[in-house]
Structure 1
Amino acid sequence: MTTPEEYDARYLRGILEFNRGEFFEAHEIWEELWRDCPAEPRRFVQGLIQAAVAIYHANRGNRAGCARLYQSARAYMLRYESPYWGLDIGAFWQAMEQCLAPWLATESSWGFATGPTCPLPRIALQPPPTTWPNGPSCDPEPERPMDEPL
């Protein structure tokens, strides 16, 4: 899947939700895709699902759940040559680390809702899709600034 016409609509819908900060919804959409995936991209999609849920857990102050899913998602996705399905995997994990690693490295109990803000990771595809699932004019930008808490 490297041309814009080949992106699965569920992959794109999940990206839209992820970029809007709707991490649980992104996970739900990507699970539908994961169930239908052939073996080769299955772990990649599983990594996306777990990355979304890691941020979801962080938002609720669940450090153990966040850390576990962060590590397994990273391990799944870094097995793939970048870019994969249009995603720069290295850049994505750099953004995930920038966002989550400082929190995971402390003993603080804050979650994103009550603690310091960080730039949330965003997914951008190269090449971009010719059409988003909600139509060609669908704005994949988040509905809130990235430096606001969830």
Structure 2
Amino acid sequence: MSGKASRISALWSGVDPRGRDVRYAAYFHHFNRGDFYEAHDVLESLWLEGGREARNAAFFQGLIQLAGGFVHMRKHFENPEHRVHRERLGPAYRLLELAEKNMKGYGGSWEGVSVEALCQLAKNWRGKLESQ
């Protein structure tokens, strides 16, 4: 197992999968704790394994993009004067937009979560970024 794979597999250690793939459960575990980079990485491993044609592919991609948007926002707001991080709000906005686009096709609820609420979260944060 490579160093990255080992680091990522440690991210789902101790997470209760509740009948789902442990990486899916670990995504929400980390996302809800504000560990957006970790949430992104753990679900990306499942998304890559399943392939782009899997029935959950666009949904997983949307969740990954949602976490990625929050990674960009955090880096910007933690260090807004940094030459790289001060430019992260545009990419954050685009990732949140893509996240909503990829998830909304899954209806009101999918895989045990409210897609509607996730899309609203992305939309609300895009609205906040527009006022920046």
Q: Please, what TM-score do these two structures have when normalized by structure 1? A: 0.63
Q: Secondary structure at the match of 2:108?
A: coil
The two structures, once aligned, show a CA RMSD in angstroms of: 1.4
Which AA in structure 2 matches 1:70? L
Is structure 2 residue 31 aligned with structure 1 residue 18? yes
Match of 2:129 among 104, 114, 118: 104
Any conservation in 1 of the 2:72–2:91 contact (CA below 8 Å)? yes
Q: Equivalent residue for 2:69?
A: 54
* Offset, 1:101: 2.7
Alignment of 1:60-79 (within 5 A): 60-61=75-76, 62-79=88-105
- For 1:103 and 1:60, the matched residues in 2 are separated by 16
Q: Deviations over 1:10-31 (max 9, x none)?
A: 0001110000000000000001
Q: Secondary structure at the match of 1:81?
A: coil
- Which sections of structure 1, spanning at least 5 residues, go unmatched? 109-150
Higher relative contact order (CA 8 A, sep 6+): 1
Is structure 2 residue 48 aligned with structure 1 residue 35? yes
- For 1:35 and 1:102, the matched residues in 2 are separated by 30
Q: Deviations over 1:96-148 (max 9, x none)?
A: 333x1343212x3xxxxxxxxxxxxxxxxxxxxxxxxxxxxxxxxxxxxxxxx
Q: Deviations over 1:59-103 (max 9, x none)?
A: 1221111011111111000011231101111112223333x1343
Task: Name the % identity.
Answer: 31
Aligned residues: 102
- Which sections of structure 2, spanning at least 5 residues, go unmatched? 1-17, 77-87
After TM superposition, which residue ranges in structure 1, 4 or more long, deviate above 6 angstroms?
none
